[in-house]
Amino acid sequence: MHMSDALLSPAVGVTFWAGTLGTIAYCSKKMKENLDEKMIPLMGVTGAFIFAAQMVNFTIPGTGSSGHLGGGMILAIILGPYAAFIVMASVLTIQALFFADGGLLALGCNIWNLGIYPCFIGYPLIYKPIVQKGMSPKKILVASLLSVFVGLQLGAFSVVLETLFSGRSELPFGTFVLLMQPIHLAIGVVEGFITAGVINYVKAARPEILESIAEMRPLSSEIKVKKVVLALLAIAIIIGGIVSWFASSNPDGLEWSIERVYGKPELPEHETGIVALLRAVQERTAFLPDYTFKKKETLKEQETTGKEEVASAKGEEAPRSDANAWPNVEAGTSVSGILGSAMMLSLIFLIGYGIKAIKKKGAKRRNGISHPAG
């Protein structure tokens, strides 16, 4: 499933965008070395193929419901991991723009979720090793099923983490996981069969196609297990840093899961150092406006309704006070809020309508003067 903008916080969105862009740059660099000229039109057209293929539906045997193809694994098998990641990113970009699938900020997450795992984990660590020892249709099927399964599970889990770290949804970690993983298990089985099916079909009908494309791949497309493990470690460290920052400033959201994992509501080792630094950055630049701004607005409201006790708390630090930022039952503010909203919306509507009316008048005037053209 695709991540959605509305469930994201800027921090998570930008982080994953950074990861995605970095990977795109890396893949592009890798492709440039020893690029076969034919690769670029091939990649483009294959991407269009995946796009079209995703729109064809079919009935899933046994359930009668319809399903669709994801495509990351097929791409990785045919084009190799670097090209496949680029193509997958492109397909998702088109979907995000033309079909509003997820959103533009979430696009960074979606490319990561649907691209990294099949291309850099599923394919090199699972599919290739299995198929290396002989490419019988059965082996291909097993390899496809396993690699797709792992890829989708990781992708689904990433959605859970992204939603969790963003703090917009109240869905607890456990429930979310229980929701996402089984669904993606089913999707994984179907996609694994399709992937294997298409590969086997093409191998049977036109084996030279897959071979000739394989020859076109950049030579250094061998991804070593060591590299992958190192990369995963690096990612884990970064995520750990973000987690701990969030943990100390948003206890409510992550408390539950952190407690489950560590047995304590916070990670004391990280209290100083990274977290303190981030907090300082936050207060100075308001890079993540979440907590600072919320405080300011709450204070404004509280001042006007006369709750001065809280105002004095302004001096206290920390976004840890997210709990305090919730106003208690504020009858006064809700009325002014609604009134203000209504007026604002009417104003906006008038502006929009006014612009249209002015345009129409302008067009009428122009049409009236010009002669009928050929």
Partner 1 sequence: MDFDKEYFNLGVLDTLSYKNTLIHRLDARTKVIATFAFIVTVVSFPKYEIAGLIPFFLFPAVIFSLGDIPFWFILKKVLVVSVFAVFIGIFNPLFDTHVMYDFLGIPVSGGWVSFFSILLKFFLTMCSALLLISTTSFPGICHALRKLGIPEIFISQLLFLYRYIFVLMEETLRMVRARDLRSFGKRGQGMSIFINLLGTLFIKTIERAERIYHAMLSRGFSGTIHFVKRDSLRKGDFLCLSITGVVLYIFRTYGIVSLIGKQAERMF
Partner 2 sequence: MTHHIIDFKDVFFRYPDGTEALKGVSFRITHGESIGLVGANGAGKSTLLLQMNGYLLPSSGFINIGDLELTKKTRQDIRKKVGVVFQNPDDQLFMPTVYEDVAFGPLNLGMSAERVIDRVNSSLQTVGCLDLREKPPHHLSGGQKRAVAIATVLAMEPDILVMDEPSSDLDPKSRRYLMRLLKGFKHTKIIASHDLDFILEVCERCLVIKDGRIVADGTVSDILTNQSLLEENNLELPLSLQKTHIMDASAKGGLLPDPSHLHSDSINRETGMATAASETCGVMEGTLK
**Cα 201 to Cα 77: distance, rounded to the nearest angstrom:** 14
271 vs 351 by CB, closer to partner 1: 351
Structure tokens at 85: 């990641």
Residue 256 in the binding site for partner 1 (CB under 8 A): no
Check binding of 329 to partner 1 (CB under 8 A). Answer: yes
Asked whether position 105 contacts partner 1 by CB under 8 A, the answer is yes
Residue 170 interacting with partner 1 (CB under 8 A):
yes
Residues 6+ apart with CB under 8 A from 6: 103, 168
In the region spanning residues 267 to 326, those forming contacts with partner 2, defined by CB under 8 A, are none
167 is a site residue for partner 1 (CB under 8 A): yes
Three-state DSSP string of 250-262: CHHHHHHHHHHHH
Which of 135, 193, 241, 242 binds partner 1 (CB under 8 A)? It is 193
**372 part of the interface to partner 2, by CB under 8 A:** no
Residue 86 lies near partner 1 (rule: CB under 8 A): yes
Helix 72-79 with 137-166: angle, nearest 10 deg: 130
Q: Which is nearer to partner 2, 40 or 183 (CB)?
A: 40
Using CB under 8 A as the binding rule, whether residue 373 contacts partner 2 is answered as: yes
Q: How far is CA 298 from CA 9, 167, 184, 315, 325, in A?
A: 20, 19, 41, 14, 6
Residue 239 CA from chain centroid, whole number: 15
289 binds partner 1 (CB under 8 A): yes
Distance CA 365, CA 25 (A): 51
Which one of partner 2, partner 1, none is in contact with 7 (Cβ closer than 5 to 8 A by kind)? partner 1
Q: Is 59 helix (H, G, I), strand (E, B) or coil?
A: strand
Cβ atoms of residues 46 and 79 within 8 Å: yes
Residue 164: C-alpha distances to residues 168, 170, 223, 246 (Å) = 8, 8, 31, 10
**Residue 313 interacts with which of partner 2, partner 1, none, CB < 5 to 8 Å by class:** none
Q: How far is the CB of 72 from partner 1 (least distance, A)?
A: 15
Question: Quick one: 146 or 202, whose CB is closer to partner 2?
Answer: 202
374, interface contact from partner 1, partner 2, none, CB < 5-8 Å by kind: partner 2
Three-state SS sequence of 223-288: CCHHHHHHHHHHHHHHHHHHHHHHHHHCHHHHHHHHHHHHCCCCCHHHCCCHHHHHHHHHHHHCCC
281 is a site residue for partner 1 (CB under 8 A): no
Taking CB within 5 to 8 Å according to partner kind, which of partner 1, partner 2, none is near residue 341? Answer: partner 1
Of 132 and 356, nearer to partner 1 (C-beta) is 356
Q: Tell me if 181 contacts partner 1 by CB under 8 A.
A: no
Q: Report, in Å, the least distance between residue 45 CB and partner 2.
A: 9
* Burial of residue 51 (number of CB atoms within 10 Å: 0-12, 13-18, 19+): middle
Query: Least Å distance between CB 373 and partner 2?
Result: 8
Instruction: Name which of residues 19 to 48 contact partner 2 (CB under 8 A).
Output: 41
Which residues lie near partner 2 (CB under 8 A)?
41, 373-374
